Chain A
Amino acid sequence: MGGAAGALLEVRDLHVSFDTEAGAVPAVRGVDLRVQRGETLAVVGESGCGKSVTALAILRLLDPSGRIERGAVRFDGQDLLGLSEPEMRALRGRRIGMVFQEPMTSLNPVFTVGDQIGEVLAIHRGLGKRERRAEAIRLLEKVGIPAAAERVDQYPHEMSGGMKQRVMIAIAIACEPEVLIADEPTTALDVTVQAQILDLLRALQQEMRMAIVLITHNLGVVAQFAQRVLVMYAGKIVERSDVATLFREPLHPYTRALLRALPSRSAHAERLVSIAGTVPSPLEYPPGCAFCARCPDVLPRCADDEPRLEGVEAGHAVACWLHAGTGAR
């Protein structure tokens, strides 16, 4: 916990579940996170770990079957979960920007990109028609789209994937948001385009002192782009660290296994250390640690007794019985 001083966005004990035919399925089970102005926090994990659901819950964009069971989301001192939908809408896209994975499906195919950027400018900044067009061109230039004055009148299908993602970023930064929530923003893109987009986000962040919450499965992107990182598994945070420490000295057996499974971190043709088995179904989470069935270092108490996220040194916390009681707090 600790004081909230300085945290621009703070999530406390977030629980989200989804209604399914099999009953309520827990997707996020007690997530805490804090982001300061100007910093990048990465949330990393594999499919189904709850990282995207966490992002959507913060934005209050869960689909109707999803429900925030409990927890708090505070942005600049305001409780987001207590806001009305119109109040939330006034915040989204203005002070909190968002970029999602699929630029192909996030843009409306029947409007020009200029119209779509203009919509945000009309709603949140009240600009007139001519001002909107000029501002849209300026934003397209800012995100590195060449011939912006012509591109502004194009439709999404006339653009490549990288261009569309730049348009999405132009929309997201149109109102100079204080925090940008980016869910796999480069996953659908080629590596050279990914590099361009990450460079662009970094430059915009420095210029605008924007905080970024980066949701990703790609540990390479985490290493190159974020300052701090949360590792999620089965709806919970299993490790929290600054990036350098996490890659140098991962503590949770899941984090360690994940890093060892990366082909680039082992010698050519050497057998990779894979993680046996698969992620448990949310319907079958054990009462204890959800990783226990796959953990190489499992202890007798792990299956029944749930480890809490505990600090082991400044800025580094892990939820694991192997490290319980070793820390300062």
Chain B
Amino acid sequence: MSGTAADRRPLLEVRDLTVHFPVRSGVFSRVSAWVRAVDGISFDLAAGETLGLVGESGCGKTTAGRAVLRLLEPTSGQVVFDGRDLIRMNRRELRATRPRMQIVFQDPYASLNPRMTVGDIVGEPLRAHGLARGSEFDDRVAALLERVGLQASYRFRYPHEFSGGQRQRVGIARALALSPELIVCDEAISALDVSIQAQILNLLQDLQDEYGLSYLFISHDLSVVEHIADRVAVMYLGQFVELAPVAELFREPQHPYTQALMSANPVPDPGARVVRIPLEGDVPTPLRPPPGCRFHTRCPRVMDACRTHEPPHIRTAVGSSVHETWCHLYAG
């Protein structure tokens, strides 16, 4: 999939994407500081490809996913979708493009309106964009529910009547309603039990094969990302530290943060002897990210340059793809 897709222009090209949130304080709500949630990330996503975005809480991965869809306004940067920059679009143009990009959220309990029937939830995008009415609407909704493995008759029921896995299927059916090309999956399976996770992962893969979907797959779970992604970006404090094809990244992680993250992931194999790379302390606040490399305060291999200088962007060719690392260790 990704091999052939790489020859064409990527579906999505993100350049120097930055999202800073103002922190207001005092009587006049003056902006006293900025939370640098996403601070200059760049990546491409090909048609039919899955890019995994991993990192720990507060690293900015969810904010990045939303900024890519312009569900929140980026501070600067470009998000070029199929050749056109979403950030520069006016409302009308954006509305015309929205059907092509969708999102599936983490919490299948909070993201479905409890007062709407499942049929209305799944069909709402069709109504909002005036794409189907009457019997055609009913047929489309029924087909969507069946496509995600739910019975068409469920359309008259309410979300509370369903289990977590079934609700996530409803969320996926809603995302599919407008035949999108890109779906941002934001911790889409994290709230589910293992056996249900497997069902939903399989469904996402089937849908990708069938419709050539591109996924930006945001997750804190390395095992899940290793399974489903073609390439993986690792994020720390608003920036990428590493971006590589999945097999390459898991075989030869270069950045000390990636290495630590992988060594901390508990492998379901009692015989596996993992050499733990312990990390000291906590993630610093994105209000005042450390100077130089943002990871230097916790890095087991920190050098003098790391404390003062931004890390270099190292690119190594891997087959037809590239292994990118932002780290002083690999300079020169």
Contacts and interface: CB of A to CB of B under 8 A. Distances in A.
Contacts of B199: 274-275
Contacts of A275: 195, 198-199
A217 B283 CA distance: 26
Interface in B48-95: 56-57
A264 B278 contact: no
Given A146-B281, A258-B194, A269-B228, A192 B264 contact: yes
B220 A217 contact: no
Nearest to B224: A263
B3 interface: no
Contact of B205 (A191, A222, A257, A271): A271
A263 B228 contact: yes
Contacts of A80: none
B258 to A, nearest CB: 11
A46 B227 contact: no
Interface string B176-213: 00000000000000000111111101100100000000
A46 B193 contact: yes
Task: Give the bracket for the number of chain A residues in contact with chain B.
Answer: 35 or more
Query: Secondary structure of the B side of the interface?
Result: helix
Contact of A160 (B166, B198, B282): B282
Contacts of B283: 160
Nearest to A146: B281
Interface in B274-294: 274, 276, 278-279, 281-283
B56 A192 contact: yes
A273 B282 CA distance: 37
B227 A224 contact: no
Contact of A261 (B198, B247, B269): B198
Interface in B298-327: none
Given A194-B266, A223-B268, A244-B271, A262 B223 contact: yes
Given A223-B268, A262-B194, A269 B56 contact: no
Contacts of A192: 56, 260-261, 264, 279
B148 to A, nearest CB: 14
Contact of A244 (B224, B270, B276, B281): B270
Interface string A189-215: 011111110110000000000000000
A247 B269 contact: yes
Contacts of A146: 281
A189 B199 CA distance: 25
B228 A258 contact: no
Nearest to B1: A269
A224 B271 contact: no
A195 B281 contact: no
Contacts of B33: none
Contact of B165 (A219, A259, A268, A278): A278
A243 B272 CA distance: 12
Contacts of A262: 194, 198, 223, 268
A47 interface: yes
Nearest to B265: A191
A274 B227 contact: no
Nearest to A227: B270
B272 A223 contact: yes
Contact of A221 (B201, B266, B281): B266
A266 to B, nearest CB: 7
Interface string B83-121: 000000000000000000000000000000000000000
A220 interface: yes
Given A263-B228, A268-B227, A278-B165, A46 B278 contact: no
A218 B202 CA distance: 20
A67 B268 CA distance: 35
Interface of A: 46-47, 146, 160-163, 190-196, 198-199, 217-225, 243-244, 247, 257-259, 261-266, 268-269, 271-275, 278
Given A191-B56, A244-B270, A275-B195, 8 more contacts: A194-B264, A261-B195, A262-B223, A263-B201, A264-B226, A271-B205, A274-B196, A278-B163
Closest 7 CB pairs of A and B: A220-B266, A263-B227, A264-B223, A274-B198, A195-B264, A272-B198, A190-B56
